[in-house]
């Protein structure tokens, strides 16, 4: 470098080091906002440009500054200059940040105001860079393809043919043993055990059916066969004695089970005793009414039972009718579905014809829309010619709005600063008062006399010694109350146990009587069931069954036609 250029470079380096704090404010903000995707290694480049624009623009002149900027990357310089020469940023946060290092009046007169004066001319430079970016054509360098070369390798000699190895002769294997194709003995044993268990289960099922009826079992044994779930199985003589033994043992076991006492808890005993007590009171009341001349409700209860039986039969018939009606509606729904399929086929043919006609109309409409679109594009191209003037007017209007907003923000910031200073002053005074209170000496040791009161001026005040004496008296009184309560609980428990024993005696008597009454009712029920007849089917059910058969035949014919 010559002397002038060397002096310029040294001055620039010294200025960047001297005003590093001011330049870092702008460069750091640029990397946070507009330069998020820029490289950190380019930080020194933006620092030098910021220094030249702030401190050396008057000496260099716009022409020399423009030559320096245009010699660098166009996109990076356009982005940084647009950020740095933003009027709103210069008037607000850049000025405030620089005022933290230097006097605000000095910053305004020497740095921000000159930058604002140069802003219109620098804006023209930014527009030139923007136009250069929009008209730039990217040239892609085609890399040279590497041409491979063959290796100079020695030609291997042909390999000799190896001598074939002799084929080994396999040894003669032993034949497969015949036991491989025979079923194992364990399988036969398992089948025999299974068959015996099946016989025992069939015998037990007969015993369960008989339920101690020796005459019915004897008739089965005389016939020599019995019907199982799968087939008629003959009786074998060796099973007769086993059957009789099992029947007799089960019968006597049932007799023993009926006599086993059941252990009840206190709640169950009282509940059952109250139940039997209510039944006894109802029976006494019924007998008293009979003695007074009231009628016996047994006939009415019998009539009521018969009517309920008839109602039950009618309900069963109604349920069967509903089931058959549901089946009939299913057959009708199948027929309706088949009719709908035929109608859908006809509608599909009509829709195909309509679709072809609509496609033809759509093609004509599409051609018409394309013609209208061409006319609209021509109108838009004409409108873009006048857009540049409107853009300039809009830019001036925005600049005016920004200046007004900057003035309002400056006033709001001043008010906020005053309020914050007032808060800090009040906080400082409060801290001074707290520190003065904490600096006062305090008594750490206090001597306590257990016989003296607190001296708070209350009627209920007492010393700790008196409090301990009263607590001891209260504990003695509490122990006496607990002893008294314990004796009372023991007497109540003995009375309750005596009551439960009386209730158990009463329950055993009632159970014996109810068992005899239940046996008599069971015998009467068996006699009535033997003399009963099967009810005839309802006429509605028969009619519905006929209709279902007719609809089924009709549906099958319709399916064959389809």
What's the chain's average pLDDT? Answer: 80
pLDDT for the residue numbered 489 = 93
Q: Tens of pLDDT along 52-80?
A: 888 888 888 888 888 888 888 888 888 88
**CA distance readout (Å), 514 to 84, 252, 518:** 109, 22, 6
Comparing 233 with 351, which gets the higher pLDDT?
Answer: 351
Contacts of 108 (CB under 8 A, 6+ apart): 95
- DSSP at 448: -
pLDDT tier, 472 (very low <50, low <70, confident <90, very high otherwise):
very high
Do the beta carbons of residue 555 and residue 334 sit within 8 Å? yes
Q: Tens of pLDDT along 314-366?
A: 888 888 888 888 888 888 888 888 888 888 888 888 888 888 888 888 888 88
pLDDT tier, 555 (very low <50, low <70, confident <90, very high otherwise):
confident
CA–CA dist 207, 251 (Å, integer) = 10
The arithmetic mean of pLDDT across residues 299-310, rounded, is 83
Contacts of 233 (CB under 8 A, 6+ apart): 202, 225, 226, 227
pLDDT for the residue numbered 220 = 47
pLDDT tier, 515 (very low <50, low <70, confident <90, very high otherwise):
confident
Contacts of 493 (CB under 8 A, 6+ apart): none
- DSSP at 234: E
Do the beta carbons of residue 8 and residue 59 sit within 8 Å? no
Q: Tens of pLDDT along 459-471?
A: 788 888 889 999 9
The model's pTM is 0.29
Q: Is the pLDDT of residue 475 over 90?
A: yes
Instruction: Say how far residue 215 (Cα) sits from the centre of its chain.
Output: 67
Q: Tens of pLDDT along 520-536?
A: 888 887 777 665 544 44
pLDDT tier, 487 (very low <50, low <70, confident <90, very high otherwise):
very high
Q: Tens of pLDDT along 439-449?
A: 766 655 566 77
Domain ranges of the chain: 3-137
Q: Is 232 helix (H, G, I), strand (E, B) or coil?
A: strand
Q: Tens of pLDDT along 402-429?
A: 888 888 888 898 888 899 889 888 888 8
The arithmetic mean of pLDDT across residues 2-18, rounded, is 87
CA–CA dist 155, 78 (Å, integer) = 64
Q: Which of 348, 346, 320, 341 lies closest to 333 in space, CA to CA?
A: 341
Instruction: Say how far residue 314 (Cα) sits from the centre of its chain.
Output: 51
**H/E segment holding residue 57:** helix 57-60
Q: Is the pLDDT of residue 243 over 90?
A: no
Q: Is 227 helix (H, G, I), strand (E, B) or coil?
A: strand
CA–CA dist 175, 161 (Å, integer) = 41
Instruction: Say how far residue 186 (Cα) sits from the centre of its chain.
Output: 55
Q: Is the pLDDT of residue 234 over 50?
A: no
Portion of the chain with pLDDT greater than 70, in percent? 84
CA–CA dist 50, 81 (Å, integer) = 9
CA–CA dist 379, 364 (Å, integer) = 24
Do the beta carbons of residue 498 and residue 266 sit within 8 Å? no
How many other CB atoms sit within 10 Å of the CB of residue 69?
23
Q: What dihedral angle (degrees, nearest 10) is formed by the CA atoms of 446, 448, 453, 458?
A: 30
**β-strands 232-234, 225-227 pairing:** antiparallel
CA–CA dist 402, 88 (Å, integer) = 6
Handedness of CA 37, 42, 44, 45 (dihedral sign): negative
CA–CA dist 103, 116 (Å, integer) = 18
**What is the maximal distance between C-alpha atoms in the chain?**
149
CA–CA dist 362, 75 (Å, integer) = 49
Burial of 35 (0-12, 13-18, 19+ CB in 10 A): buried
Comparing 526 with 83, which gets the higher pLDDT?
Answer: 83
CA–CA dist 374, 381 (Å, integer) = 11
Comparing 455 with 352, which gets the higher pLDDT?
Answer: 352
Torsions phi, psi of 92, nearest 5? -110, -95
**H/E segment holding residue 124:** helix 113-134
Q: What DSSP string describes 457-474?
A: --TT---HHHHHHHHHHH
CA–CA dist 521, 305 (Å, integer) = 15
Comparing 97 with 559, which gets the higher pLDDT?
Answer: 97
Q: Please count the residues of the chain.
A: 562
Print burial letters for 502-541: b (CB count within 10 Å at least 16), e (below 16). Answer: ebeebbeebeeeeeeeeeeeeeeeeeeeeeeeeeeebeee
Contacts of 90 (CB under 8 A, 6+ apart): 112, 115, 116, 119
């Amino acid at each position: 470098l010559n002397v002038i250029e060397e002096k310029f470079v040294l001055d620039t380096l010294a200025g960047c080091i001297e005003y590093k704090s001011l330049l870092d404010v702008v460069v750091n903000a640029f990397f946070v906002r507009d330069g998020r995707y820029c490289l950190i290694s380019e930080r020194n480049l933006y620092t030098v440009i910021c220094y030249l624009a702030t401190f050396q623009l008057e000496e260099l002149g716009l022409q020399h500054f423009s030559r320096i900027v245009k010699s660098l990357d166009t996109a990076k310089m356009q982005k940084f200059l647009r950020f740095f020469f933003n009027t709103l940023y210069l008037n607000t946060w850049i000025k405030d940040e620089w005022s933290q290092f230097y006097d605000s009046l000095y910053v305004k007169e020497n740095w921000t105001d000159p930058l604002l004066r140069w802003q219109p001319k620098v804006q023209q430079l930014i527009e030139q860079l923007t136009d250069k970016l929009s008209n730039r054509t990217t040239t892609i360098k085609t890399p040279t393809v590497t041409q491979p070369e063959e290796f100079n390798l020695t030609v291997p000699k042909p390999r000799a043919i190896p001598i074939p190895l002799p084929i080994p002769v396999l040894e003669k294997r032993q034949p497969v043993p015949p036991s491989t194709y025979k079923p194992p003995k364990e399988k036969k044993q398992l089948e025999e055990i299974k068959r015996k268990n099946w016989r025992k289960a069939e015998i037990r099922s007969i015993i369960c059916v008989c339920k101690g009826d020796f005459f019915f079992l004897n008739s089965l044994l005389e016939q020599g066969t019995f019907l199982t779930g799968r087939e008629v199985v003959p009786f074998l003589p060796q099973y007769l004695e086993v059957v009789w033994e099992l029947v007799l043992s089960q019968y006597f076991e049932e007799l023993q089970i009926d006599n086993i006492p059941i252990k009840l808890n206190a709640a169950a005993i009282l509940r059952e005793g109250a139940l039997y007590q209510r039944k006894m009171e109802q029976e006494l009341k019924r007998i008293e009414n009979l003695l007074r001349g009231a009628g016996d409700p047994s006939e009415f209860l019998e009539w009521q039972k018969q009517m309920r039986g008839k109602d039950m039969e009618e309900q069963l018939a109604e349920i069967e009718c509903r089931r058959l009606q549901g089946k009939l509606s299913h057959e009708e729904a199948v027929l309706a579905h088949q009719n709908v399929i035929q109608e859908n086929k006809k509608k599909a043919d009509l829709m195909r014809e309509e679709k072809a006609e609509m496609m033809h109309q759509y093609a004509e409409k599409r051609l018409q829309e394309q013609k209208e679109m061409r006319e609209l594009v021509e109108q838009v191209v004409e409108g873009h010619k006048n857009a540049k003037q409107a853009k300039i007017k809009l830019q001036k209007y925005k600049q005016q709005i920004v200046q007004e907003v900057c003035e309002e923000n400056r006033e709001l910031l001043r008010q906020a600063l005053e309020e914050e200073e007032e808060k800090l002053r009040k906080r400082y005074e409060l801290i001074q008062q707290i520190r003065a209170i904490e600096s006062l000496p305090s008594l750490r040791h206090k001597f306590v006399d257990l016989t003296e009161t607190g001296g708070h001026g209350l009627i209920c005040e007492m010393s700790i010694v008196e409090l301990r004496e009263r607590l001891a008296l209260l504990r003695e009184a509490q122990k006496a109350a607990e002893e008294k309560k314990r004796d009372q609980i023991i007497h109540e428990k003995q009375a309750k146990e005596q009551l439960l024993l009386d209730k158990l005696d009463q329950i055993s008597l009632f159970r014996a009587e109810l068992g005899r009454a239940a046996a008599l009712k069971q015998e009467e029920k068996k006699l009535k069931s033997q003399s009963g007849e099967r009810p005839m089917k309802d006429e509605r059910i028969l009619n519905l069954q006929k209709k279902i058969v007719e609809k089924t035949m009709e549906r099958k014919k319709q399916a064959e036609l389809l």
